[in-house]
């Protein structure tokens, strides 16, 4: 009996020791990461070297990666780059300016405005896509065509042209994620000391000078973070394309890398080739994340 109690006490001391406790706390994350992220990623890499048919798996080397050199993949990659580029143009400077505006003392009803900006991110992308499809319908009676008609512009068939396809996806993404990025920048603005702006006022700096020389430099880390997650989100885009055109768009005008993966891997049951597309997306996201860590100094040694 005493030996059992001693063993239990030793086990409790061992589990409560400083060397063991940190690993116990991170164990749930390690297990979930291994099961839900690491294992699927490894399987995707293995599958990218295989031809997978019902009841038959065959290793074919780099054949799936050679098949990536085709016009549809190039178009999907180009569309993804354009989408990412234009979302960055909108979702970095505009939320920053809105955050500065909402953080100023002259603005009233700040809480209501912040909530109004954040609500779209809580909306289902399917519901939002349905509303946007009605707004940009092909008929001349749609809201968008009626609006441009006020300026003497003929009705546009929004879902059949390359430029309008990218425009619709960027518009939907901007509407959904604008409020989230505003909150990121608002959080960053709270770390800027008021004394900096007071000193600038004494020196006679105007609003634009303070924004350029104080606000923007102090928001550098937040800007890098928001840029990184926006790039990652850009290369992962799927829903914004799917709600307008489904799995395939006319002439691949809105086909992205992930929608191309869905077409090949799920619709055509070519899992090996779909895995190869997924590995390419994975590598791009990994490189973007690595660049972010380098820019934020995550690999620098701490100096005492």
SS (H, E, C) 141-165: CCHHHHHHHCCCCCCCCHHHCHHHH
Cα→Cα distances 111→96, 107, 117, Å: 17, 10, 10
Distance, CA of 79 to CA of 71 (rounded, Å):
12
* pLDDT tens, position by position, 4-45: 545 556 656 655 666 666 777 788 888 898 888 888 889 889
| Domain residue ranges of the chain, discontinuous segments joined by + | 2-47, 67-295
In terms of C-beta density within 10 A (0-12 exposed, 13-18 middle, 19 or more buried), how is residue 137 classed? Answer: middle
* pLDDT tens, position by position, 44-72: 899 999 888 777 888 888 899 999 999 99
Taking alpha carbons only, the member of 171, 94, 174 closest to residue 135 is: 171
Cα→Cα distances 19→14, 113, 129, Å: 9, 48, 51
* The CATH number of the domain covering residues in 67-295: 1.10.3720.10
Q: Which residue has the higher pLDDT, 166 or 55?
A: 166
Q: Residue 232: is its pLDDT beyond 70?
A: yes
* pLDDT tens, position by position, 167-195: 999 999 999 889 899 999 998 888 888 88
pLDDT, average across residues 210-226? 87
Q: Please enumerate in sequence order all residues whose Cβ is within 8 A of that of 269, keeping only pairs 6 or more positions apart, or say none.
A: 54
Cβ pair 214, 130 in contact under 8 A: no
Q: What is the pLDDT of residue 15?
A: 58
* pLDDT tens, position by position, 67-92: 999 999 999 999 999 999 999 999 99
Q: What is the pLDDT of residue 251?
A: 86
State percent of the chain over pLDDT 70: 90
Q: What is the pLDDT of residue 248?
A: 79
Q: What is the pLDDT of residue 304?
A: 46
Q: What is the pLDDT of residue 4?
A: 58
Residue with tokens 């319908």: 137
Q: What is the pLDDT of residue 298?
A: 61
Q: Please enumerate in sequence order all residues whose Cβ is within 8 A of that of 130, keeping only pairs 6 or more positions apart, or say none.
A: 243
Cβ pair 184, 175 in contact under 8 A: no
SS3 5: helix
Question: Which of 6-10, 200-204, 220-224 has the highest average model confidence (pLDDT)?
Answer: 220-224
Q: What is the pLDDT of residue 167?
A: 92
Distance, CA of 215 to CA of 209 (rounded, Å):
9
Cβ pair 167, 173 in contact under 8 A: no
DSSP assignment of 52-109? EETTEEEE-TTHHHHHT-SHHHHHHHHHHHHHHHHHHHHHTHHHHHHHHHHHSTT---
Taking the alpha carbons of 81, 85, 90, 91 in that order, is the dihedral positive or negative? positive
Taking the alpha carbons of 150, 151, 154, 160 in that order, is the dihedral positive or negative? negative
* pLDDT tens, position by position, 109-138: 777 877 788 888 888 888 888 888 888 887
* pLDDT tens, position by position, 246-273: 877 888 898 999 999 999 888 888 889 9
Distance, CA of 82 to CA of 257 (rounded, Å):
12
SS3 132: helix
């Amino acid at each position: 009996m005493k030996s059992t109690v001693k063993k239990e006490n030793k086990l409790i001391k061992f589990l409560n020791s400083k060397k063991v406790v940190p690993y116990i706390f991170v164990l749930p994350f390690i297990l979930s990461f291994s099961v839900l992220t690491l294992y699927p990623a490894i399987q995707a890499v293995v599958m990218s070297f295989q031809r997978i048919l019902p009841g038959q798996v065959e290793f074919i080397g780099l054949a799936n990666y050679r098949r990536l050199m085709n016009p549809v993949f190039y178009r999907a990659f180009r569309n993804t780059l354009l989408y990412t580029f234009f979302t960055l143009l909108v979702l970095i400077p505009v939320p920053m300016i809105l955050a500065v505006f909402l953080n100023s003392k002259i603005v009233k009803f700040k809480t209501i405005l912040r909530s109004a900006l954040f609500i779209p991110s809580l909306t289902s992308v399917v519901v939002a896509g349905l509303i946007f499809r009605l707004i940009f319908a092909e008929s001349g009676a749609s809201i968008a065509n009626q609006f441009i008609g006020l300026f003497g512009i003929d009705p546009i068939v929004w879902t059949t042209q390359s430029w309008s396809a990218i425009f619709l996806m960027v518009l939907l993404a901007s509407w959904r994620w604008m409020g989230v990025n505003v909150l990121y920048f608002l959080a960053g603005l709270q770390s800027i000391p008021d004394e900096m702006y007071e000193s600038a006022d004494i020196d006679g700096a105007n609003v634009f000078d303070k924004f350029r020389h104080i606000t923007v430099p102090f928001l550098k880390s937040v800007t890098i973070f928001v840029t990184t997650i926006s790039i990652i989100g850009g290369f992962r885009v799927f829903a914004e394309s799917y709600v307008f055109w489904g799995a395939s768009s006319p002439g691949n005008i809105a086909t992205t890398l992930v929608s191309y993966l869905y077409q090949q891997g799920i619709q055509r049951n070519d899992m090996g080739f779909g895995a190869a597309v997924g590995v390419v997306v994975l590598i791009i996201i990994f490189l973007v994340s690595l660049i972010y860590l380098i820019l934020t100094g995550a690999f620098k040694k701490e100096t005492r």
